């Protein structure tokens, strides 16, 4: 399950968030923790370097969920833009790559906050095609590109 996808700018303002199966009352904690985590990990990081599980896993904040064993946050940074995933191990690394490549595709080049906001509607559609309540729905980026324009996929 993909538990959360957060896209935030470097000031920590969230541009898009998708939580799946995280109780409402926990979201606020996760949100601030994940955004801080993203920002904390950015020092000296190259663009598109995948910061997998670069979290401070000794001190888990006050969540009933145990970060270390069950979930691994993962951060990808683009200029002034963080894409943060909170996922159950393994299966969803696939989803991560799909989401980031779809966003890059829509923006046409490595995304910035500005490009992202310009293409906001289309990015929302992409997320809608990729993941629904945590379950991965589509993974092929060409197919996603066609589906958001209501064009049938080519491969069948």
Partner 1 sequence: MALYVKKDDDRDEEAEYSPFSGIEKGAVLQEARVFNDPQLDSRRCSQVITKLLYLLNQGDSFTKVEATEVFFSVTKLFQSRDIGLRRMVYLIIKELSPCADEVIIVTSSLMKDMNSKTDVYRANAIRVLCRITDGTLLTQIERYLKQAIVDKNPVVASAALVSGYHLLQTNPEIVKRWSNEVQEAVQSRAALVQFHALALLHQIRQNDRLAVSKLVTSLTKGTVRSPLAQCLLIRYTSQVIRESSMNSQAGDRPFYDYLEGCLRHKSEMVILEAARAITELSGVTSRELTPAITVLQLFLSSSKPVLRFAAVRTLNKVAMTHPMAVTSCNIDMESLISDQNRSIATLAITTLLKTGNESGVDRLMKQITNFMSDIADEFKIVVVDAIRSLCLKFPLKFRTLMNFLSNILREEGGFEYKKAIVDSIVTIIRDIPDAKESGLLHLCEFIEDCEFTYLSTQILHFLGIEGPKTSDPSKFIRYIYNRVILENATVRASAVSTLAKFGAMVDSLKPRIFVLLRRCLYDNDDEVRDRATLYLNTIGGDGSVVETDKDVKEFLFGSFDLPLVNLETSLKNYEPSEEPFDVSSVPREVKSQPFAEKKAAAKKPTGLGAPPAGPTSTVDAYEKLLVSIPEFSTFGQLFKSSAPVELTEAETEYSVNVVKHIFDKHVVFQYNCTNTIPEQLLENVTIVVDASEAEEFEEIATKALKSLPYDTPGQTFVAFEKPEGVPAVGKFSNVLRFIVKEVDPSSGEAEEDGVEDEYQLEEFEVVAADYMLKVGVSNFRNAWESLGPDFERVDEYGLGPRESLKEAVTAVINLLGMQPCEGTEVVAANSRSHTCLLSGVYIGNVKVLVRLSFGVDSGKEVAMKLAVRSEDEAVSDAIHELVAN
Chain residues that interact with partner 1, rule: CB under 8 A: 10, 14-17, 47, 49-59, 74, 78-80, 89-91, 93-94, 110, 112-114, 117-118, 120-121, 124-125, 128, 132-133, 135-139, 147-153, 156
In angstroms, give the least distance from the CB of 64 to partner 1: 12
Q: How far is the CB of 101 from partner 1 (least distance, A)?
A: 14
Question: How near is the Cβ of 156 to partner 1 at its closest, in Å?
Answer: 6
Provide, rounded to whole angstroms, the least separation between the CB of residue 121 and partner 1.
4
* SS3 assignment, position 7: strand
Token readout for 62 is 């006050």
Q: Which residues of 110-132 are buried (b: 16+ CB within 10 A; e: fewer)?
A: ebebebbeebeebbebbbebbbe
* CA 126/CA 128 separation, integer angstroms: 5
DSSP conformation letters of 29-91: HHHHHHHHHHHHTTTTPPTT-EEET-S--SS--S-SS-HHHHEEEEEEEETTEEEEEEEETTT
């Amino acid at each position: 399950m993909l538990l959360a996808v957060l896209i935030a700018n470097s000031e920590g303002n969230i541009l898009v968030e998708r939580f799946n199966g995280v109780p409402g009352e926990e979201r606020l904690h996760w949100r601030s923790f994940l955004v801080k985590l993203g920002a904390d990990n950015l020092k000296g990081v190259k663009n598109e370097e995948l910061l997998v599980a670069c979290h401070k896993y000794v001190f888990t904040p006050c969540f009933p969920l145990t970060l270390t064993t069950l979930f691994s946050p993962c951060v990808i940074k683009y200029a002034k833009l963080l894409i943060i995933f909170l996922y159950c191990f393994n299966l969803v690394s696939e989803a991560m790559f799909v989401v980031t490549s779809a966003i890059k595709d829509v923006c046409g080049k490595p995304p910035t906050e500005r490009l992202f906001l310009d293409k906001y509607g289309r990015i929302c559609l992409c997320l809608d095609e990729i993941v629904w309540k945590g379950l991965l729905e589509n993974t092929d980026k060409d197919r996603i590109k066609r589906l958001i324009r209501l064009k049938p996929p080519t491969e069948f």
